[in-house]
Amino acid sequence: MKNLTRRRFLQFAGTSLVSATLGTEFHHAWSQIPGERPPSDAAVRVINPRNRVPVSLIIDDSTCLVNLAHFALPQFAEVWPQRAEYQKPWRQFPREIPDSFVRRFMDWCQEQGVKGKYSVVPYPACVGWLDRDLPGWSHQELVESLRLVREQVMPRWDIHPEMVTHTWVINTKTGRPYEERTHRFMENWGWSEGRSVDELTDYLAYALRILKNVDLHCEGITTPGGFGSRARPQLAQATLEACRDVFRTEIPHYFRDLFTDEQSVAPRVEYASGLDGDDPKCVVSIIGCTGDWFGGWDGDTLGSFDKFITPDLNKGRMVEVIDRKEPAIMVGHWPGMYFNGQEKGFEILKEVVKRLHSRFDNLIWMNLAEIARYWAARELTRVQKQGESVVFRAPFAAPLFTIQLTSSANGTPAIRGSDVGIRPLRRVGRLLDLESGTYCEGGNRNGISEPTTLCFDLAKGESELIWMK
């Protein structure tokens, strides 16, 4: 949708808010405002990076040292005293999830190639500010915990604020929670409903700046609980504006939704504009595909290996999504991984990853920013076949960009661009051997012509696929 005015935006937003009252069963597509799209060329098909299926792990409710479940449960119970899930013996839960667990968890993830998103709640349950002090821990302990996140988590994982507190809403002018103690002033529930883009942008930017103060780089945000569920268009645009304002993020993304039914879980590229200019914009909605079947948000709800993938490796939610070739993004919570020191959620994760790697040889672990970038390039790059060559006009660069051609010319394919000259691609014999700078020729199998598949790093701007004789 080109030239989206604020009035037109509010018309969409009003429709979305009405639709939200119909319930969670209503299809997610009502909230999407995709923006501009280039024309497509049927002769060229953009496929998954390296012709593999992206997999990832979203970790919510994580932060430095604080066990969010211990501190959040009594605050949730204050608002919803009748709900049994908030009446658990929170005083018996450990107040801390130690950095030693972070190290072991991340060491294992690096060994297995696991990547994803790790929340860092800036003012966890109003215990203390990560850019100031964390009462109950020494300042040096906070400094060391932040260093651990920067050095061992951030290189492979996205860092997201999960709003400011994950409990009470903060007045951004005072830095204090509002006086009203109802669901209307809980981040997880009613506060975001009816908020304008400017109000949500202010709130998201406030959270992002706290993490920027401690040198944690963010390209996206995570919403706690129901935050933004009835303000989805506003949330998307606020994410775009806040991430660009605070971190100059080229392709902001956000995690708001997960689906465990038949709906597509492919990322949604929204608010695309200026694709042919010097300042292209978009925001990407990342969709999870599982519930928390590890250890629950409270660290007291044991999950199941088999919901992800069964012992025979043939069924389970991850198998369903991977077979559809959509990004298979698991969702878990940090207290559930730690499971009050028993680490049962972590043990489930280990077994699930073992089964996935045993069943599939076509997976590629990616963090959310990498997935968002690839999908933005996939949907927003103008790809046109011109004679024997293919011309690309890309608003965003994307590593491992992979295409298939229904027909190709003789000779060696090469990428030509103003910044890189001519880069010939190397031929590989199997699709599984594809990496950046390679191609696999199509053949004729059982009378069916197969496409040629090419993988290369797509440059921003104009480039061209040519055939060298």
pLDDT tens sequence for the chain (469 residues) = 333 332 233 333 333 333 332 233 333 444 579 999 999 899 999 999 999 999 999 999 999 999 999 999 999 999 999 999 999 999 999 999 999 999 999 999 999 999 999 999 999 999 999 999 999 999 999 999 999 999 999 999 999 999 999 999 999 999 999 999 999 999 999 999 999 999 999 999 999 999 999 999 999 999 999 999 999 999 999 999 999 999 999 999 999 999 999 999 999 999 999 999 999 999 999 999 999 999 999 999 999 999 999 999 999 999 999 999 999 999 999 999 999 999 999 999 999 999 999 999 999 999 999 999 999 999 999 999 999 899 999 999 999 999 999 877 789 999 998 777 899 999 999 999 999 999 999 866 665 678 999 999 999 999 999 999 8
Burial 243-274 (b: 16+ CB within 10 A, else e): bbebbebbbbbbbbbbbbeeeebbbbbbbbbe
Domain final position from 373, 393, 411: 373
Could you tell me where the DSSP H helices lie in 214-278? Answer: 232-247
Residue 433 in domain:
yes
Residue 9 in domain:
no
Residue 448 in domain:
yes
Report how far Cα 358 is from the mean position of its chain's Cα atoms.
Answer: 25
Number of compact structural domains in the chain? 2
Shared-domain flag, residues 406 and 277:
no
Shared-domain flag, residues 236 and 279:
yes
Shared-domain flag, residues 78 and 212:
yes
Domain final position from 316, 349, 373: 373
Shared-domain flag, residues 148 and 178:
yes
Q: What is the CATH number of the domain that holds 444?
A: 2.60.40.1180
What pLDDT is recorded for position 31? 56
Shared-domain flag, residues 339 and 230:
yes
Range of 340's domain?
53-373
Shared-domain flag, residues 362 and 325:
yes
**The pair of three-digit structure tokens given for residue 93, joined into one six-digit string:** 């839960």
Q: Is 430 helix (H, G, I), strand (E, B) or coil?
A: coil
Of the candidates 411, 301, 292, 308, which has an alpha carbon nearest to the alpha carbon of residue 357? Answer: 308
Residue 127 in domain:
yes
Shared-domain flag, residues 364 and 391:
no
**The pair of three-digit structure tokens given for residue 314, joined into one six-digit string:** 């043939």
Shared-domain flag, residues 410 and 334:
no
What pLDDT is recorded for position 113? 98
Q: Please list the residues that pair with 330 across neighbouring strands.
A: 57
What pLDDT is recorded for position 52? 98
- Distance CA(271)–CA(73), nearest Å, equals 36
Shared-domain flag, residues 357 and 399:
no
Of the candidates 25, 427, 6, 60, which has an alpha carbon nearest to the alpha carbon of residue 241? Answer: 6
Domain final position from 352, 373, 394: 373
Contact by Cβ (8 Å): 50, 43: no
Shared-domain flag, residues 325 and 438:
no
**The pair of three-digit structure tokens given for residue 246, joined into one six-digit string:** 């605070």
Angle between helices 344-359 and 99-112 (to 10 degrees): 0
Q: What are phi and psi of 329, to 5 degrees?
A: -115, 110
Shared-domain flag, residues 401 and 308:
no
Shared-domain flag, residues 433 and 292:
no
Contact by Cβ (8 Å): 68, 335: yes
Residue 359 in domain:
yes
Contact by Cβ (8 Å): 400, 457: yes
What pLDDT is recorded for position 408? 76
Residue 25 in domain:
no
- Distance CA(285)–CA(376), nearest Å, equals 11
Residue 27 in domain:
no
Q: What is the CATH number of the domain that holds 287?
A: 3.20.20.370
Largest CA distance in the chain: 75
Residue 74 in domain:
yes
Q: Is 301 helix (H, G, I), strand (E, B) or coil?
A: coil
